[in-house]
Amino acid sequence: MFDDSGVVRGDDGVARYHGLPYNLVAMLHATVEATPDREALVEIGGPRLTYQEFWDRATRVAGGLAADGVLPGDRVAIRLGNGVDWALAFFGAQLRGAIAVPVNTRFTDEEAQYVIDDSGAALVIDGPLPDGAPTFIDEAEPGAAAAIFYTSGTTGFPKGAITTHENFLSNCESCRRAVSIERGDPTRTLVSVPLFHVTGCNSQLLVACFLGGTTVIMPTFEVGAFLKAIEDERIDVLTTVPAIYWLAINSPGFKDTDVSAVRFLSYGGAPIAPELVSRIKQAFPQARVGNGFGLTETASLTTYLPHEYAAEHADSVGFPVPVCDLRIDPLSDNDERIGELLIRGPNVVAGYWNKPEATAHTFQGGWLRTGDIARIDEQGLVHIVDRAKDMINRGGENVYCVEVENALAGAPGVFEAAVVGVPDEVMGEKVGAVIVPMPGGVDVTEVLTYLRGHLADFKVPQYVFVRTEVLPRNPGGKVLKRRLKEETTWGN
């Protein structure tokens, strides 16, 4: 299905791409040497840097980190919004031999502090970039940690996925092969999702650097600015969540936008309706479209649904990329076709930072237990049919129900509560909360105000239903959420 040339399987059973750069510093340096004057970074409404300027400024960030006492192997937390500075901070950390820790800018101060403390960050970049004499270290082994991406956990505490240089570079090559882009192709990609997520960083920014292309970054998403950037910047590679495509093609300004430069268009991170796939193909007639699937724990891309299958198999996440092996761990002996999806490959992260028990549970015998329930059909297409993890996918943002339920437990007037996903045409799902009030009743406005002080905004329920009956439970005490959904009528 995809180009599998140069794939070599090691003694550990893992398939790897032959000939990748040694580490991220070597990768960026090679691109700078090959195309120093090519545009590397563009911030909408902000600076524009060539690859030589990118390198020069990133080495000054590395020098500033050194002057601040950051040593190789130290963690550097990046608490910045989308922009050129984020990319400079990330690569400045790499050039210092440090480990970047992207922090979700939508986290509350309490949530962000947990990430900073758990990672043991030696420095937090949350304002002007460190600056010092240019310096760089190019000694990291391929298996050394390059970054720690924190992903929400079902315990209510995020887990830091230790992402190595090999993880990042394997993902870059997988992304290139999935959409059939040649090395050296001067692509121009538009980043409309957060860089602190693996899609924005791993599958856009780093892939562009790997290919010698240009990364155009939106500091904040606004549909009019998105359309204007596609036309003005001659964007030819689009990667974002389905909700943004829906907003774009339904915008009054879309019909007047020149999208003829777009050659490759990918979506992922949330379920997509077949009708929307058809509309995307009609709206971007020059583009090859496809669906990508991956996890923080797989450094982004694991499977990809190519253009030829996109419309007819919109419910599938495609075929595994050349270096990813997939297995199904059956849920029962009666049906071995459906079960938990297991993944092995050089893109699977090294484990969870500072969490040996979670690492041992999730990474077993060289395989990642995803927690996703899947089936693989006779064509080899992967279908995600359910989630073993109690999770809501809100427009590409993962919201774990138990985390919101834990916060609701402390809210005023709440006796008990359950959180479920509510289907939404644009976002795929939104967060819904069913609340059983304490005697005397509950003020929903007060509850939401309380939650906004304890949760990131995307985790706060958009739908709240107050019921007088206790929550339905099975004999073991577990809330019957499917029944709860059937019994609940959501308002607007």
226: tokens are 């998105």
Q: Looking at the structure, do residues 259 and 277 belong to the same domain, yes or no?
A: yes
Q: For 281-337, what is each residue's pLDDT tens digit?
A: 999 999 999 999 999 999 999 999 999 999 899 889 999 999 999 999 997 777 677
- Report the distance separating Cα 452 and Cα 255, nearest Å: 38
Q: Which of 368, 386, 404 is a domain's end point?
A: 386
Q: Are 408 and 414 in contact (CB under 8 A)?
A: yes
Residue 492 falls inside a structural domain: no
- Report the distance separating Cα 220 and Cα 312, nearest Å: 33
Q: Looking at the structure, do residues 228 and 357 belong to the same domain, yes or no?
A: yes
Q: For 40-75, what is each residue's pLDDT tens digit?
A: 999 999 999 999 999 999 999 999 999 999 999 999
- Report the distance separating Cα 473 and Cα 481, nearest Å: 9
Strands, E assignment, 170-273: 188-191, 214-217, 237-240, 264-268
Note the pLDDT of residue 492.
Answer: 61
Domain count, the chain: 2
Q: Looking at the structure, do residues 249 and 355 belong to the same domain, yes or no?
A: yes
For all residues of the chain together, what is the average pLDDT?
A: 93
Q: Looking at the structure, do residues 350 and 396 belong to the same domain, yes or no?
A: no
Residue 160 falls inside a structural domain: yes
| CATH number, position 323 | 3.40.50.12780
365 CB contacts (<8 Å, ≥6 apart)?
none
Closest CA relative to residue 42, chosen from 223, 213, 197? 213
Note the pLDDT of residue 154.
Answer: 45
Q: Looking at the structure, do residues 380 and 238 belong to the same domain, yes or no?
A: yes
- Report the distance separating Cα 15 and Cα 170, nearest Å: 10
- Report the distance separating Cα 33 and Cα 51, nearest Å: 9
Q: Which of 348, 370, 386 is a domain's end point?
A: 386
Q: For 358-417, what is each residue's pLDDT tens digit?
A: 999 999 999 999 988 889 999 999 998 766 666 788 888 878 787 788 789 889 999 889
155 CB contacts (<8 Å, ≥6 apart)?
402
Q: Looking at the structure, do residues 333 and 476 belong to the same domain, yes or no?
A: no
Q: Looking at the structure, do residues 108 and 33 belong to the same domain, yes or no?
A: yes
Q: Looking at the structure, do residues 120 and 239 belong to the same domain, yes or no?
A: yes
- Report the distance separating Cα 348 and Cα 364, nearest Å: 12
Q: In the chain, what percentage of residues exceed pLDDT 70?
A: 97
Q: Which of 347, 362, 386 is a domain's end point?
A: 386
354: tokens are 């500072």
Note the pLDDT of residue 101.
Answer: 98
Note the pLDDT of residue 372.
Answer: 87
- Report the distance separating Cα 255 and Cα 248, nearest Å: 10
Torsion on CA atoms 309, 312, 315, 320, rounded to nearest 10 = -20
Q: Looking at the structure, do residues 287 and 340 belong to the same domain, yes or no?
A: yes
Residue 117 falls inside a structural domain: yes
Quick one: average pLDDT of 96-101?
98
- Which residue in the block uniquely carries the two structure tokens 């007037």? 413
Closest CA relative to residue 230, chosen from 182, 273, 286? 286
Q: Looking at the structure, do residues 398 and 364 belong to the same domain, yes or no?
A: no
* Domain range for 165: 7-386
Quick one: average pLDDT of 163-167?
98
The amino acid occupying position 181 is: I
Q: Looking at the structure, do residues 249 and 264 belong to the same domain, yes or no?
A: yes
Residue 2 falls inside a structural domain: no
| CATH number, position 446 | 3.30.300.30
482 CB contacts (<8 Å, ≥6 apart)?
none
Closest CA relative to residue 465, chosen from 434, 492, 431? 434
29: tokens are 């340096």
- Report the distance separating Cα 368 and Cα 351, nearest Å: 9
Question: H or E segment at 452?
Answer: helix 444-452
Q: For 426-446, what is each residue's pLDDT tens digit?
A: 888 999 999 999 888 999 999
Integer angstrom CA distances of residue 196 from 31, 203, 437:
23, 12, 37
Q: Looking at the structure, do residues 441 and 376 belong to the same domain, yes or no?
A: no
300: tokens are 């982004």
